[in-house]
Amino acid sequence: MPPKSCDIPDLRPPYDYGHKAPARRRRREMTPNLGLMINNLHSAKMENILPDKMYPQLSKAFISRVSYYTKYLARNTYAQQHVHVGYKTIHDEPGPTQQTRMSNDIFRPEVLKTIEEEIDKYSKDLTDLSLKIHDHPEIKYEERYAHDLLTAYMESQGFEVTRHYLDLETAWKATFTHGNGGRVLGVNSEMDALPGIGHACGHNLIATVGVGISLAVRAALIKHNVSGKICLLGTPAEEGGGGKVILIERGGYKNMDVCLMAHPAAGNPRTAKLGSSQASQELSVEYQGHPAHASAAPWEGQNALDAAFIAYGSISALRQQVKPTHRIHGIVEGRDWAANVIPDYAKMTWVTRAPTAKETEALTKRVVKCLEAAALATETKATIKHSIFYYNLTQNTVLVREFTDVAAKRYGIDASSGIEGAIGASTDFLSPRYILIIPTQPNGGNHTARFTESARTKEAHDITFTITKILALVGFRVLDDELFFKEVHASFKQTMKITGDTSL
Ligand SMILES: [Zn+2]
Ligand SMILES: [Zn+2]
């Protein structure tokens, strides 16, 4: 049904967005922004960047001298300053990458023009794919419709397609190569919905971004004759299934130099958020005790529910002694419970989260002690299982700077906030150590029925296409600009150092 009144006149055909003519205020609240996730998937040599720890040692005079080089940035984040400080320190003569940035211009505007034309040309197709996926919501590992739809489309576009990639029924891969050699740009397309509320996390838009980036970068590689490869992955089960974790374990990201994706979130229009996401560990404990008549012979029982309550109490006390950035949350489940029977079984599921994988592992160990102690106290048996571990996502400051720069200069989108990362959710977009991210905002409206509506609107698709254009240019630069790529790698290595991962 077309809306009776709507102050956006062009919402109707050729697409029925199912727009319900919301009030201006409500529409503004619910319009999804696209957060951005970019993942650097390669190790690198630390050559060009001054280590963070040296920053405080720089003299005031030097800082004021280099501040000239950072002032041109419309959005001066610490990370942006830091990269430029490091660059100027190590290199007496600015390299071409630096010169390009100093000129206050967007990298290769003629390529951006190609990208924009391509996305505009395909906007009807992309919208069509997005709405079809939205209207056929499929939960984790059941994304068969989306799998078939997207693989058929990529094949029709001349990409080399692998269905059921790496023995995951709903995973897929679409690749395109131009020229000889060159780097590999990875892109993620998520597809899954949530039980009962459909595409309340907007993964139909994520799928669209992935396809759009791939089409646009392909056009740019051909037109501007740059060698490189695009590897688009259809990634199942982001919502609690860890699809990308499995793909990574099976080598799905092995040959990528960088991997990009975008995720929608609720918030201010004309912004994109750049926060990091938490590492997380889900674990369960099953307490097995012995039943008994709760009144006639309670001393014969071993109370599994008591174990669960003691564990819950212990963990609640533990929360006082953890950092403000740490999270522990859990539930209790039982079966065949009755008030007059000592419960012989109870199950708890817990999730621990912290900013880094290391911290999460340490926090989880403390939680496990609480779980074990409860079994000891109640003489029940505890069976503890750790399920999928989600690594934290940390931004690659160089890719983020590039994204922020293009977003502000070309599209007036403010992507400068949230770079230090608020406490948020966790995601399966990871690689065991190197990560960068721009995830969703906390309490931002994802996972609600209203967000499902928002993920179908024309505004959502318009901003999706804009973010797609920016990401495509960032991805193209990774393939085209050797020096820029070196900086990306160096930043990645630096992040690993800061987070304490020295295994690279
Ligand atoms: Zn979600
Ligand atoms: Zn999501």
pLDDT, tens only, 428-453: 443 322 222 223 334 447 888 888 88
Q: Quote the ligand 1 centre to 118 CA distance (angstroms).
A: 29
- The pTM score is 0.69
Residue 309 exposure: Cα atoms within 13 Å on the Cβ side: 6
- From CA 284, how far away is CA 388, in angstroms rounded? 11
Token look-up 């800082």 returns: 63
pLDDT reported for residue 425: 55
User: Could you tell me which residues come within 8 angstroms of residue 203 by beta carbon, excluding any fewer than 6 positions away?
Assistant: 133, 190, 191, 192, 193, 238
* Strand extents, DSSP E, 311-354: 327-333, 345-354
> Which SS3 state, helix, strand or coil, does residue 428 take?
coil
Q: Quote the ligand 1 centre to 454 CA distance (angstroms).
A: 14
pLDDT reported for residue 447: 85
Extract the residue ranges of the chain whose pLDDT is less than 70. 1-104, 269, 273-276, 394, 417-444, 498-504
Q: Among all ligands shown, which has an atom nearest to the Cα of 194?
A: 1
User: Could you tell me which residues come within 8 angstroms of residue 316 by beta carbon, excluding any fewer than 6 positions away?
Assistant: none
> Which SS3 state, helix, strand or coil, does residue 414 take?
strand
Q: Quote the ligand 2 centre to 192 CA distance (angstroms).
A: 8
Q: Quote the ligand 2 centre to 245 CA distance (angstroms).
A: 15
Q: Quote the ligand 1 centre to 8 CA distance (angstroms).
A: 28
Instruction: Compute CA distances 306 → 192, 349, 382, 460, whole Å.
Output: 38, 16, 12, 49
Q: Quote the ligand 1 centre to 18 CA distance (angstroms).
A: 22
Q: Among all ligands shown, which has an atom nearest to the Cα of 206?
A: 2
Q: Quote the ligand 1 centre to 74 CA distance (angstroms).
A: 31
Q: Quote the ligand 1 centre to 322 CA distance (angstroms).
A: 26
Q: Quote the ligand 1 centre to 139 CA distance (angstroms).
A: 11
Q: What is the CATH number of domain 279-390?
A: 3.30.70.360
Cα 352 to chain center, whole Å? 18
pLDDT reported for residue 497: 73
Q: Quote the ligand 1 centre to 165 CA distance (angstroms).
A: 23
Q: Among all ligands shown, which has an atom nearest to the Cα of 205?
A: 2
110, 38, 106: which is closest to 488 by C-alpha? 38
Reading phi first (left if > 0) and then psi (alpha if -120 to 50, else beta), residue 412 is in: left
Domain boundaries, the chain: 24-43+106-276+392-498, 279-390
Q: How crowded is residue 199: how many other Cβ atoms within 10 Å of its Cβ?
A: 28
- Tell me the β-bridge partners of 143: none
What's the chain's length in residues? Answer: 504
Q: Quote the ligand 1 centre to 446 CA distance (angstroms).
A: 6
As a whole number of Å, the CA-based R_g of the chain is 25
Q: Quote the ligand 1 centre to 33 CA distance (angstroms).
A: 14
- Kindly state the tokens that stand for 355: 């900013």
Buried residues in 427-457 as b, exposed as e (16+ CB within 10 A): bbbbbebbbbbbbbbeebbbebeebbbbbbb
Q: Quote the ligand 2 centre to 33 CA distance (angstroms).
A: 13
Q: Quote the ligand 1 centre to 193 CA distance (angstroms).
A: 8
Q: Quote the ligand 1 centre to 292 CA distance (angstroms).
A: 43
pLDDT reported for residue 327: 95
Asked whether 42 and 504 are in contact (CB, 8 A), the reply is no
Q: Among all ligands shown, which has an atom nearest to the Cα of 197?
A: 1
Q: Quote the ligand 1 centre to 198 CA distance (angstroms).
A: 11
Q: Quote the ligand 1 centre to 169 CA distance (angstroms).
A: 21
Token look-up 């049904």 returns: 1
Q: Among all ligands shown, which has an atom nearest to the Cα of 429?
A: 2
pLDDT reported for residue 489: 87
Asked whether 349 and 286 are in contact (CB, 8 A), the reply is no
Q: Quote the ligand 1 centre to 201 CA distance (angstroms).
A: 4
- From CA 290, how far away is CA 344, in angstroms rounded? 5
pLDDT reported for residue 463: 87
Q: Quote the ligand 1 centre to 265 CA distance (angstroms).
A: 9
- From CA 290, how far away is CA 341, in angstroms rounded? 10
Q: Among all ligands shown, which has an atom nearest to the Cα of 235?
A: 2
Q: Quote the ligand 1 centre to 447 CA distance (angstroms).
A: 6
Q: Quote the ligand 2 centre to 392 CA distance (angstroms).
A: 15
Q: Hey, what CATH topology would domain 24-43+106-276+392-498 get?
A: Aminopeptidase (3.40.630)
Q: Quote the ligand 2 centre to 276 CA distance (angstroms).
A: 14
Q: Quote the ligand 1 centre to 80 CA distance (angstroms).
A: 29
Q: Quote the ligand 1 centre to 382 CA distance (angstroms).
A: 31
pLDDT reported for residue 109: 93
Q: Quote the ligand 1 centre to 75 CA distance (angstroms).
A: 29
Asked whether 205 and 191 are in contact (CB, 8 A), the reply is no
pLDDT reported for residue 129: 98
pLDDT reported for residue 53: 33
DSSP state of 179: S
Q: Among all ligands shown, which has an atom nearest to the Cα of 264?
A: 2
pLDDT reported for residue 308: 98
pLDDT reported for residue 499: 62
- From CA 407, how far away is CA 414, in angstroms rounded? 7
- From CA 123, how far away is CA 205, in angstroms rounded? 12
